[in-house]
Structure 1
Amino acid sequence: MGLLQSKQCGRDIWLTFKDLCLVSPPPGSTILVAVVILASLYLLQVYRRKQRTTPIRGPQSPGWVFGFAKILLNSTATTELYERWAREYGPVYKVPDVFGQSRVILWDPKAISHFFARDTWLYNQTPFNKIVVRITIGRGVLWADGESHKRQRKALNPAFTAAAIRSLTSVFHDAAHKTVIAWDAEIELNQRTHCAVIDVQQWMNHISLDSAGIALLSHDFGALDGNDSDVAHVLNAFGSPAKISNLIILAQNFPSILKLPLPRTRLTQKLRLIVGKICQEMLSRTRQEKDTGGAEQGDKSCLGLLLKAEGSGESAGLTPQEVLDEARVLLLASFETTSVSMTWALVELAQNSDIQKKLRDECLEFEPTPSYDDLTNKLSYLDAVVNEVLRLHAPVKEIPRSAMQEDVIPLSEPLRTADGNFTESVCIPKGTVVVVPFAALNCSVSMWGPDAKVFKPSRWFEGDEGTLGARETLHGYRHLMTFGDGARMCLGRLFALAEFKAVLFVLVRNFVFEMADGPDGSGMQIVDGLGTIPRPKVVGSEAGSVPLQVRRYEV
């Protein structure tokens, strides 16, 4: 009732002011009155909004200018911070941000489920993210919200069904076997030790780039054959660990800063141009083949489906510019996230020799070239290892969204507010930035038990009644946040899982992986680097390389 009265009061004040202006041009005193009225109206709206907003708790700001923004963006300890704050302030809390503003963090499973059910509609990407995505890859499915997102997603869906991915499995096996041949050659050069120190991050990048090029865009970049390309260079530079500058942090609240010629912005624009040029060439070639009735190669990849969607008409399908933007999305999204996950898998196996042996035994007992259905349904320990890597090392650490209108978020348990009361829901105003911390939730004790920080594939075979209920409310893949949920759940998850499993199957059958400083790896620590999608890195090293000792497996 108070809200309706406030709105009616505001309308009455505005109508009175309009009537006053229509009678005669307002003299100076009338302008002053008008300013006072409008200021009063604004303050009234602010007051009413504050009255409705739930006063949630959170940590004290370390500084008014940056809040916790610098700490969270330039730190590898965000998982521990988010979980500690959830224990201290409850499953929904606020974290001080730039210039005294705050972000709301969702830790409550019911609240997160509510959020994902309204993603792209009630919750849109923040203005900062919209600009970054547009600069990097254009106005494709990662940029769009609402009806535009729904339309673009519908056009892309056929390319990522199980039937579509089933036909691509041979591409992943071929990439893995090319890697085996290359690594064998490196090991042969070391006759004395019969092993080689290999930068597995670089090789996983090669596998991801070639697999994405062939499977999605009908183009072989030849990275596994040693071919150099502008695309590979700019993708590697874009994903390299780098400290985030103060200007980029401020741009989270003032996106216009991104128009400045910052080094990261220039690299982003270069990435968009180079990837766009490559994708445009592929699209032109595929259109030509289609028009001349030539080979149907493009129709077996995403390109053919994109062009089919383009031809269906602008209202229901994709515009020519959107087709180009979607091609950029496919290449970039499939390259970075999967290569990071595969690298972490090899690191974890190198650090856990017993798990590596158990996985190798399962793979050796199976036929050398498993089908998509075999990888999905018949290799249970491989599935567990992959799930555990995705749980412990989510490539995307968190997602921020901006509330497009006021929302009331339900909770699974009562929350103590800043004024000492308890509430079963949280009211947040329009414009609030809401964050779901994917990586922290995947490793939280409340969701996964006291050994949540331990790499333990066997947990996927064990019943865990103590924390299962909390996880079941989350409807993502295997109750993980790695691929997200809702309307924006990762479109390429089946592609990523098939590639991950196929490559790991081949590599672990053929090689033994150890840490570069010895079997126990006690002297070399590998952690997440910094960046939008943090790559693993050796502590003390700025380079994005991950050296492991690799030797041929001998029966």
Structure 2
Amino acid sequence: MDPVFSAVGFLVLVIVYRVYRRYTGISLADVPGPESPSFMMGEDHKRQRKVLSPGFGAPESKAFLPLFQGCAESVGTEVTPYSLNSHQQRDPSQLSNKWMDVIMNSKEQSAVLNIPAWLSRATLDAIGEAAFDVRFGSIDNEESALARAYSNMMNDIFGSPSNERIFFREVSKYIPDRILQYLVETSNNPGIQRAREVASLATSLARQMVTDKAEMLLQGKGNRDVFSLLGVCTPSFRSSTSNRSTVKANMDTDAKEKLTEEELYALMRTILLAGHETTSNTISWALLELARHPEMQSRLRAEIRETEVAIHARGDTEFTVTDLDDMTYATAFIKEVLRFHPVVYQVYRCANQDDVLPLSQPITTRLGKVIHELPVQKGTRIVVSVAAYNRNKDLWGDDAHVFNPERWINGAAKEKKATSIGVYSNLMTFLSGARACIGWRFAVIEIQAFLTEVVGKFEFTLIDQSGRVRREASGVMTPTLEGEVEKGVQLPLRVSVALQAESGY
């Protein structure tokens, strides 16, 4: 990785560090560019979250299930650059059919697949449809400009920092913001150029989607996608005749709460990146655990198939959200994946005023003083380790470092719960409080849909390379192979068609 980033490449980390210091997180799509909701603080953050909320509530998230099921099975029409309106007829090609074709054309009747590469494109299609009512066709088109732009982006820019890059990241606090901004806008460094290209492509796509969506909504053709609910909440759109953008959400939104155009584009770039990168990596880690633990895989598949039998018996053909939630082992397994493999492994906070942090357990200093609270001065930078919280033995038991879905079934996880922190099962994976992940329900349902589809049909087994899988901290926790980090995200597994009947559960 480091050979790609010469001395000038340190500037990428410099800029990111400055953002970390001043705000609460980063969005690579916004380097350079306006500040997105992931940067916002105070009243700006409250305003943007209020605009976003209608698209990510419980009813709205549940309504996306058929879409997620479709993306796990039938992943859309191959179009250039994209196709708007999900009322279009789906292409019969299916993700599972594609895997099936590869497997059946193999002499071994199985195939080694780089799981994240497939899932990244599939979840990009899913976020395109759910958030914007758009068909990207990434799974059908490996040369999709959007999919290629996002492929390995986080690893290429943020992975494996050298000592020199860490040093320059610390020195950055003494470099004026204007100089940093100038450098990021003019540098020829490959990493910075990559960030600029992604931002430019995503912004161009966002502008086109806004124009087309506004026209569709005026014709009464909009859907319940997130974009239809918030995508045109901008004051300029309400008065714009070129975009004809007097749209549903804008009509009912107070002018002072509307998004500016630049805020909207930044928001769309953030959703495109965060909405698929986190989910695809979470599902990838889940499939690795199933390959590591064949008994868990068999048990999960048996539960999926038993539920399918019950669904068919009542005259239905598709899983409902209730069906997914009622699968006890599947729910426990997903919670354990989210606990053990939090893709967002740490978050950054900066105190905007003097405060005092109460401690759940007292700390004894070297001088023997017992501290029950910790004073925090304004401007203090805080790194919150999601991974450490999710492995805290006081919360999860002595086997907190062991992948064990049973803790969610036998009550061990609940018995250890003291104070409820996270928005989902006391996990910090989706954070907590006012800045908790607004799309956590969306993500859980998408993970349920994808795992139900692929585990019900395929069996996943380890290969020799699987023993070299390592975590790469690059903004999100991605799987790479030891000794091949420069090749980007890799998690190879052997995939074969699962037997129709399995015993033991």
TM-score greater than 0.5 by the shorter chain: yes
1:198 is matched with 113
1:531 aligns with 2:477: no
1:229 is matched with 144
1:395 is matched with 343
2:281 is matched with 340
Residue 200 to residue 131, structure 1, CA distance change in 2 (3 Å): closer
Residue of 275, 292, 298 corresponding to 1:351: 292
Secondary structure (helix, strand or coil) at the match of 2:363 reads strand
User: How many angstroms apart in 2 are the aligned matches of 1:390 and 1:290?
Assistant: 37
1:306 aligns with 2:222: no
Secondary structure (helix, strand or coil) at the match of 1:232 reads helix
2:319 is matched with 370
Q: CA deviation at 1:413?
A: 2.6
User: How many angstroms apart in 1 are the aligned matches of 2:459 and 2:484?
Assistant: 24
Asked whether the equivalents of residues 529 and 535 of structure 1 are also in contact (C-alpha less than 8 Å), the reply is yes
1:126 aligns with 2:69: no
Residue 414 to residue 464, structure 1, CA distance change in 2 (3 Å): same
Q: CA deviation at 1:135?
A: 2.1
Q: CA deviation at 1:335?
A: 1.2
Q: CA deviation at 1:188?
A: 1.1
Residue 361 to residue 469, structure 1, CA distance change in 2 (3 Å): closer
User: How many angstroms apart in 2 are the aligned matches of 1:193 and 1:465?
Assistant: 41
User: How many angstroms apart in 2 are the aligned matches of 1:453 and 1:509?
Assistant: 28
Amino acid at match of 2:222: E
User: How many angstroms apart in 1 are the aligned matches of 2:32 and 2:333?
Assistant: 33
Residue 504 to residue 475, structure 1, CA distance change in 2 (3 Å): closer
Residue 130 to residue 464, structure 1, CA distance change in 2 (3 Å): closer
Q: CA deviation at 1:258?
A: 4.3
Asked whether the equivalents of residues 307 and 323 of structure 2 are also in contact (C-alpha less than 8 Å), the reply is no
1:326 is matched with 267
1:85 is matched with none
**Cα deviations by residue, 1:129-186 (Å, 9 ceiling, x for unpaired):** 6676642663221111111100100110010112112221112111211210000000
User: How many angstroms apart in 1 are the aligned matches of 2:25 and 2:337?
Assistant: 29
Q: CA deviation at 1:408?
A: 1.3
User: How many angstroms apart in 2 are the aligned matches of 1:252 and 1:129?
Assistant: 17
1:493 is matched with 440
Q: Write out aligned runs for 1:34-49 (5 A).
A: none
Asked whether the equivalents of residues 206 and 223 of structure 1 are also in contact (C-alpha less than 8 Å), the reply is yes
Q: Write out aligned runs for 1:107-506 (5 A).
A: 126-127=21-22, 134-135=30-31, 138-177=34-73, 178-190=94-106, 192-240=107-155, 242-245=159-162, 246-247=164-165, 249-250=169-170, 253-254=173-174, 256=177, 258-259=180-181, 260=183, 261=187, 262-291=189-218, 293-297=219-223, 300-307=224-231, 309-310=233-234, 311=250, 312-367=253-308, 369-375=318-324, 377-464=325-412, 468-470=416-418, 472-506=419-453
Which runs of no fewer than 5 residues in structure 1 stay unpaired? 1-69, 75-97, 99-123
Q: CA deviation at 1:425?
A: 1.0
User: How many angstroms apart in 1 are the aligned matches of 2:228 and 2:171?
Assistant: 38
Q: CA deviation at 1:445?
A: 2.1
Residue 464 to residue 304, structure 1, CA distance change in 2 (3 Å): same
Q: Please, what TM-score do these two structures have when normalized by structure 2?
A: 0.79
Q: CA deviation at 1:460?
A: 0.3
Asked whether the equivalents of residues 414 and 424 of structure 1 are also in contact (C-alpha less than 8 Å), the reply is yes
Residue 392 to residue 251, structure 1, CA distance change in 2 (3 Å): farther
Asked whether the equivalents of residues 446 and 467 of structure 1 are also in contact (C-alpha less than 8 Å), the reply is no
Q: Which moved more, 1:430-439 or 1:415-424?
A: 415-424
Asked whether the equivalents of residues 481 and 490 of structure 2 are also in contact (C-alpha less than 8 Å), the reply is yes
Amino acid at match of 2:262: Q
1:79 is matched with none
Asked whether the equivalents of residues 251 and 258 of structure 1 are also in contact (C-alpha less than 8 Å), the reply is no
Q: CA deviation at 1:391?
A: 0.5
Q: CA deviation at 1:216?
A: 0.8
User: How many angstroms apart in 2 are the aligned matches of 1:322 and 1:237?
Assistant: 26
Asked whether the equivalents of residues 391 and 400 of structure 2 are also in contact (C-alpha less than 8 Å), the reply is yes
Q: CA deviation at 1:227?
A: 4.8
Amino acid at match of 1:537: T
Residue 373 to residue 138, structure 1, CA distance change in 2 (3 Å): farther
Q: Please, what TM-score do these two structures have when normalized by structure 1?
A: 0.72
Secondary structure (helix, strand or coil) at the match of 1:430 reads coil
Secondary structure (helix, strand or coil) at the match of 1:530 reads strand
Which has more radius of gyration? 1
Residue 136 to residue 199, structure 1, CA distance change in 2 (3 Å): farther
Residue 434 to residue 467, structure 1, CA distance change in 2 (3 Å): farther
Q: Percent identity at matched positions?
A: 30
**Cα deviations by residue, 1:308-342 (Å, 9 ceiling, x for unpaired):** 53323441222222222221121111111001100
User: How many angstroms apart in 2 are the aligned matches of 1:404 and 1:389?
Assistant: 34
Secondary structure (helix, strand or coil) at the match of 1:327 reads helix
Q: CA deviation at 1:550?
A: 0.4
Q: CA deviation at 1:210?
A: 0.5
